[in-house]
Structure 1
Amino acid sequence: MAIYAHLQKFSPGLQKIMRREQERRQKYSVTKYFKPGVFPVKQGEIIAYTGRSGIGYPHLHFELRKNENTPINPLLKNFNVKDSIAPHPKEMAVIPLMLGSQADGRFLAQTYKIIKVAPDSYRLQQPVQIWGTVGLAIDVYDRADGAANKFSVYEITLIMDDTVLFHSKYQFFSYDKTGQIYLDRNYRLLAHKGKKFFNLFVAPGNKLDFYRPFSPGNGILFTEGYAAQLTRETDALAGVSLANSNLINSDRFDQFYLNLTQQPYSLLKQGEHQAKIIMQDIRGNRSTVELILYVKEMPIPARQWFTFSEPFPTGGRSDAQYRWFRRNKISGWLPASAPDFSTELSATTGNGHSSPSSFEKTNSIPVYKAEKITDNAIPAYPVFITSGTEAEKIPNLKLKKFVRDPFTVFTLQSKTPILSPFRVRLINKKIGKKEIHFVARDLRHFSFSVPSFDIADDTTTIIIGHTQSTGEEPLLQQKFYLRRIDRKKSRTVISANGDFTLSVPAEASVQNIYATLEMINRKTFRVPIPGDSLAPVFHVTPTDVPFFKSVRLTFSLRNDIKNKQQIGIYSPNFTKRKWNFVGNSRNKKKSEIDAGVKYLGYFTLLRDSKPPKVQIISPRDKAILTEKRPVIKIRYRDNLSNIGGEDDFRLELDGKFCISELDPELHIIKFQPEQPLSQGRHKILFRIRDRAKNQTQTQITFTIKGSIP
């Protein structure tokens, strides 16, 4: 089956058939199937003319399908497309997938620029440290000779130490599995970075037919020694008696864990591993990316702050063991030699402590950073040496949380450098009061991760304060509520004020998710909010998990609100600083308004009380024309809800309904009479309404005269 789309018009014979069908249904957009042989086509015969809808300039959207719903790669049919260009890789991503997993010591996905070393040969500039359960992904595109378009690659292979761990080949695709494409491309990286990375592993729940051999989990890396850490820190093997035996400490435990949990992950021994990604197009042009992965846990230091008078962690401070840096307020960290701490100590006031006021003027306080030199130039967490000053208050602390399904990462950012230790505590009914070990990457940025299950379905308080303070007011205290939604069960989440509900059906996602629902102050929101205040802005997460079934958003409406048909649910477009219509289905009995979505984010209620603006571009009012089949072209604009489709407008010519073409991208409605119009005066009447039921009507007249000699 061949599909030709984004067309301007059909050939005369087919156009006549489709016109009859449009007249019969009184619609421009119709679907009609022909039985084999009803409309025969010969090779070389013109069947249609290309249009420009979709991408804005003339082109042909062409598909070959195995059946009605399964397109295949058309290049498999040996079309003569000139292509001597190999795929072009841009970035690599290394993605921690479970609690305690690391990519260069970080708990969140890290991306790396790819550098070219020879024609069609690329590599990463430096080794990447990994630990735990990790996935790789790559941002890559292909081109063909003489075309500016970017295409997908045909095959991708991940090889680790000469063993193939993952292979994908893009031959065909079923539209029944459209949502699953976000398991092949990394949806989380798309949501946060706006880039399309190909996963080099089969994500859980992925049922696409691209992979051989196929098994969810293929390509995921599992490092030696991680199973013991995972077992001790979580309930991963709860109820398994062997988990507490000497097996945990043996070199057989990782494979035991994978066998027991039935995970087809690839076990990597500690040390250096050579990885290669091969990308190939259908013409056999190939490129490669090589990288070194170094398997070793980057242990979180028990302490990261020391004073000049304290013993160093290992007792040694030589240049051979550490790389030293001294902080400069303007230039940041500058390379330095191992300092003479007795000199630095005497330079501070009295007993080695600077005055609290000097905290704000950190250039006057000697601050050093030491990074331990490790094998393979893999960085280690830094250690900071200061005078021991502790500030009375650290302003502008910002706490962010990143839910990564089985674990949640918290990041803390301070505008003022933190020169003394502080403590982080989590408090809820499930875990009680728990001291959290965090990591400082520098003096302004800190992070830690916890099992999402430990902080789910209970109000959790996070408290940040100085280590030496007891009754002192915390530097930061924040509460949050994380709701666990089992993928096999439906769940309803209700806002604190009871006015907003999120309803998630069973099997809406391929994984358990952890949702948050927070009210945002409308006055401080990043996108201006038009109209009266009908509801707060609700921030609903996760925003980086794809849904394969619609989840329902429901707002309660106050009884005193008038013209409720004008009210809809909207979400913001931060780039264009505007609001997009989501839906406005109403339950009149319950005084509610709801909408189905397959994504989460920011939502609020807005009123659209302004009708669409309309301009009849051609013909002009009272125009005198010689063309007896004039093209009627109308432009419309709407400020909020927009129009839903061709049922929302009506064009009449001399009192007769006209089947008109809608171009929603250009906001144009167009009609051309099939038969010549008679000489004389003619009238155009046009009505249009938006999805909030606001209506506009306009009319003009024009005159047809005979040919001007």
Structure 2
Amino acid sequence: MKVPHKSISRAVILGSVFPFLSGLFFLPAPSHTMVPGRSPIERIDDIYAPFDSLHTDIGDYLWPTKEGTFITSSFGDYRRTHFHGGIDISTNHQKGYPVYASRDGHISRIRISPYGYGKMLYLRHADGFVTTYAHLQKFNEELDAYIKNIQKESRQYSHDLEIDPTLFSFRKGEVIAYTGDTGVGSAHLHFEVRDAGMNLVNPFLFPAIAARLEDKVKPTIHALAFSPIDHESIVQGKQRTWTTEVRRTGSGEYVVKGVIRLTGAVGLSIRTTDRADVMRYQTGTHRVELYLDDEQIFSSVKNRIPEFESKQIAMHYDAKLLRSRKGRFEKLYIAEGNRLPLYNRLPEGAGILRTPEYEEGKHLLRIVTEDVKGNRSTLTATVLFNHPPQIALDQIGSRAVLQAKDPAGVQSVTLWLQLRGKTAWTSRKVSLDALEPVDHGFALPVDLTRISALKVVAENRFGTRSAPEFLFTSVARGGKSGLKLEKLYEHGFLHLTITAKSPIRSKPSIEILSGTRRFTPEPVALDLDEYTATFPWTEAESGSLRINVSADVGGKTIAVHDEAILFVIQPASGGTIVSDDGRFQATFPAGSLYAPLACWIEKTAEGYAIRPSETVLAKAITIRYDSESMRASDRLGLFFSEEKGYDLVQGEAEAGMYTGTIGRYLGTFALFPDTTPPEISRVRSSYYRGSINISFRMRDNRSGINIRRFQALLDDEFLPAEFDPDLRRVAYQGSHPLPPGKHTVKIEAVDRMGNKTTAQRTVSVSR
């Protein structure tokens, strides 16, 4: 058996004390093929060198609160646009618990927003490392007074401030803030550790923090996925991703029933979760390892995540399965362009099962998942590496002749016969040895004069079956004659499905014209009325992509075609793509892609979509959309949708051309008018013993609230009212001694398109 990569042993430094640290300081140097320019090892060094060691005192970090020891989200957990950069500490949905400085340091940054992390503190330490504390209810008294003065002077709630290092210093264990629920989510404390470059570090690498986590629960394994990596690869007889549930057989033990048949290059992905003792919250796992016949061929461990590569989470997970609502599947291979330092210095492509490199037959897969406390679960599965027989049928007189590309690889043949005038099929199985050899093949024991249709499937010694082959002998009469062509983008190749409303009586003819090149992919039958074919994007050229398909359906030759303008973009050079009508274009600068991309623009009901939409962007691309006949006076905005719902794209409009940038995924773009101002409702205000209380609801129907232009005023004095976007609720309570008489509370809300609304209430103060 050939194993493509060396097995990976576990690190011993710190590993005997803290098993979850193993791998952090492990620096194997596997051999790789050299290529012109920088070698693979040099490129791996570029990725891993900043993360090879921790230049900090790991024993100096303190758990940041006394009120919570349970974890609701762990380091590296899945978020739609990034890895979760810290740990979420439960406060039992309560607010107001003290938050302590984890180490000596000074406040270097303060962020305040109704979105994201809400109120957040950055505490920089002498070695350059930083701890952050988020979703805070309020800061300590000194910090709170400082930030409220800034808010009042600027008349803005949201701020992102770099703080003079001489202003606010704290000793380890001093109170810096109080837990809350600002930003997204219910009450909890989000805690991070960052290195001097602001890259994310797993807090459980620090003993005092790891010691607070009580966890004897093993990870749960839910499902396994197998994906063909190229257009020649097959999973369970099809060139499509195949997922399977797993069966639990014991504590931390799981199996996949049956044998999974694989051909070519196949990547695995796993859906697995974890939780700590007595907690119902599910988190991700810390480490995943893949073994083939007891040789480790892949490992990932979430200890360090680069600040500016966190959005590559869509390359660590299977984005297509995510988009199709199949679940969060972590890839057990390193996808093209993946630059995350999670994989123990393995090269790109590690973990992919390349069946031609191994002996044909059954192999054992073992997948180990592990949490930060070393609790492990194991999944085993049996895979069969094998090529399905390739066969064809020919008619010579009244005889049917079976042709096989490799006759020695065929053990038996199953025949299905449909007698003339009958609708039922009869079948029988014969060994290849029992067939009569003839020129170019083997004569099948069938009298074609007595049947109207023949279906043949060959089987090899491993039980792997060929695609079916069909032979029709009678003239078709009647029947529906429609033909349908469907396209699907599948891991670097185009997957075509051809279906009909009646039996397809001969193999469809497929022609693909890409730029100046012509291709004729071989169709593969799935059933009487369904065929598939694949086309690798690596063969494509920029320009017109035309697909021509014709087939005999119901005795008639039916033709269908599909045409689009294809754009092939290389990461090093970038490029610009333009819609057929010239109204929409996207410019990809050099370095905006992690891997070569074949894409196209699709006209939708709302606007334009760039496909495939699951493409991850390394840098922002620029969108230009011509409004043409749409009136600028309608307050048009450029909107973008990744999956569902539209968000306004920040940009500008000039002479009817709307320009903006997006930087995460491709998706759908549209121009929408927004002339409706935000809605303010349920306004309540009261004054009692020098304290003013204000609350109201605020929402916008399209572009969203412009939080920088939102104001709550008391007699023209700015009030730093807090907006909860989840509840659409704004509230303020504070001490404001007022003289007797009537006072005005005024609320101004502006959306991101400039539509404005106001509300006003009177507060009476008695003598």
Considering the TM-score relative to the shorter chain, is it more than 0.5?
yes
The equivalent of 1:39 in structure 2 is: 169
Matches within 5 A, 1:207-226: 207-224=339-356
Shift of 1:517: 0.9
> 2:315 — aligned with what?
183
Counterpart-to-counterpart distance in 2, 1:141 and 1:20: 45
Cα separation, 2, equivalents of 1:478 and 1:196: 33
Structure 2 letter corresponding to 1:618? R
Could you say which residue in structure 2 is the equivalent of 1:519? 603
- C-alpha deviation, 1:639, in angstroms: 1.7
State how far apart, in whole Å, the 2-side matches of 1:334 and 1:161 are.
45
Offset, 1:343:
12
Q: Does 1:12 align with 2:96?
A: no
Give the secondary-structure state (helix, strand or coil) at the position aligned to 2:152.
Answer: helix
TM-score, structure 2 as length reference: 0.72
Displacement of 1:548: 1.3
Contact between 2:573 and 2:591, CA under 8 Å: does it hold in 1? yes
Per-residue CA distance 1:49-71 (angstroms, 9 max, x = gap): 32234553222212223336223
* Residue of structure 2 in register with 1:635 after alignment: 697
Answering whether residue 229 of structure 2 is matched by residue 97 of structure 1, we say yes
Render the CA deviation track for 1:387-431: whole Å, top value 9, x for unaligned.
Answer: 7564667566442323346532112344x2525224132143756
Instruction: Give the root-mean-square deviation of aligned CA atoms.
Output: 3.6
| In structure 2, distance between residues paired with 1:306 and 1:631 | 89
Report the structure, 1 or 2, having the larger strand content.
Answer: 2
* Deviation for aligned residue 1:553: 1.7
Task: Tell me: CA distance 1:204–1:419, structure 2 relative to 1, closer, same or farther (3 Å).
Answer: closer
Q: Measure the CA separation in 2 of the matches of 1:207 and 1:562.
A: 43
Aligned positions of 1:634-673 closer than 5 A: 634-644=696-706, 646-673=707-734
Change (3 A) 1:650 1:324: farther
Query: Are residues 270 and 582 of structure 1, via their aligned partners in 2, closer, same or farther at CA, if it must alter by over 3 Å?
Result: farther
Matched AA of 1:157: E
Q: Is the 8 A contact 1:659 1:671 kept in 2?
A: yes
Within the alignment, does 1:70 sit opposite 2:199 as a pair? Answer: yes
What are the equivalent positions in structure 2 for 1:299-448 lying under 5 Å apart? Answer: 299-302=389-392, 311=400, 313=402, 321=412, 337-338=427-428, 371-384=457-470, 388=474, 390=476, 394=480, 397-404=483-490, 406-414=492-500, 416-428=501-513, 434-448=519-533
2:378 corresponds in structure 1 to 288
Contact in 1 for aligned 2:487/2:495 (Cα 8 Å): yes
In structure 1, C-alpha distance between the alignment counterparts of 2:285 and 2:455, rounded to whole Å: 44
Report the Cα offset of residue 374 of structure 1: 3.9
Task: Please name the residue that 1:202 is paired with.
Answer: 334
Aligned mate of 1:59, from 172, 184, 188:
188
Equivalent-residue separation in structure 2 for 1:385 and 1:308 (angstroms): 13
2:177 maps to 1:48: yes
Question: Do the aligned residues in 1 keep the contact of 2:391 with 2:466 (CA within 8 Å)?
Answer: no
Q: Please list the CA deviations of residues 39-89 of structure 1 after superposition, one character each: whole Å capped at 9, or x if unmatched.
A: 32453x554332234553222212223336223222222332111111111
1:523-602 correspondence to structure 2 within 5 Å = 537-558=607-628, 561-563=631-633, 566-572=635-641, 579-583=645-649, 585-589=651-655, 591-602=657-668
Shift of 1:185: 2.0
Deviation sequence 1:581-617 (CA, Å, 0-9, x none)? 2325224257444343432222221111211111143
5+ long unaligned stretches in structure 1: 225-266, 328-332, 354-366, 523-535
Number of aligned residue pairs = 612
* Counterpart residue number, 2:591: 507
- One-letter amino acid of the counterpart of residue 698, structure 2: Y
Indicate which of 261, 277, 286 corresponds to 1:129: 261
Report the more deviating stretch, 336-345 or 78-87. Answer: 336-345
**Partners of 2:155 and 2:711 within 8 A in 1:** no
Per the alignment, in what secondary structure is the counterpart of residue 126 of structure 1?
strand
Distance in structure 1 (CA, Å) of the matches to 2:396 and 2:183: 63
Q: Partners in 2 of 1:476 and 1:567 — Cα distance?
A: 39
**Corresponding residue SS for 2:428:** coil
**Aligned with residue 692 of structure 1, among 743, 753, 757:** 753
**What are the within-5 Å matches in structure 2 for residues 256-295 of structure 1?**
267-295=357-385
Shift of 1:499: 0.6
| Structure 2 contact 567–598 (Cα < 8 Å) conserved | yes
What amino acid is the match of 2:309?
A: K
TM-score normalised according to structure 1 size:
0.77
CA 1:698–1:590: 2 relative to 1, 3 Å? closer
Whether the 8 Å CA contact 1:388–1:420 is kept in 2: the answer is no
Find 1:109's aligned residue among 227, 230, 241: 241
For 1:146, which of 278, 281, 288 is the aligned residue?
278
Counterpart position of 1:261: none
Gaps of 5+ in 2: 1-129, 431-443
CA distance in 2, matches of 1:67, 1:503: 34
Among 451, 454, 466, the residue aligned to 2:551:
466
8 Å contact from structure 1 (residues 98, 407) kept in 2: yes
2:53 aligns with none
Q: Give the corresponding residue for 2:251.
A: 119
Counterpart AA for 1:648: R
1:514-535 Cα shifts (integer Å, max 9, x gaps): 0111223x3xxxxxxxxxxxxx
Residue 288 of structure 1: how far off its partner (Å) = 0.7
Structure 1 residues 57 and 606, CA gap change in structure 2 (3 angstroms): same
Quickly say closer, same or farther: Cα 1:37–1:435, change in 2 above 3 A: closer
2-side partners of 1:479 and 1:421: how far apart?
A: 24
Q: Secondary structure at the match of 1:681?
A: strand
Give the superposition deviation at 1:666. 2.4
Alpha-carbon distance in structure 1 between the residues aligned to 2:249 and 2:493: 37
Letter in 2 for 1:511: A
How far the C-alpha of 1:144 sits from its partner, in A, is 0.6
Q: Secondary structure at the match of 2:312?
A: helix
Using a 3 Å threshold, how does the CA distance of structure 1 residues 560 and 140 change in structure 2: closer, same or farther?
closer
Q: Which amino acid aligns with 2:565?
A: Y
Counting only pairs closer than 5 Å after superposition, residues 243-258 of structure 1 correspond to structure 2 as none
Q: 1:391 to 1:503 in 2, by over 3 A?
A: farther
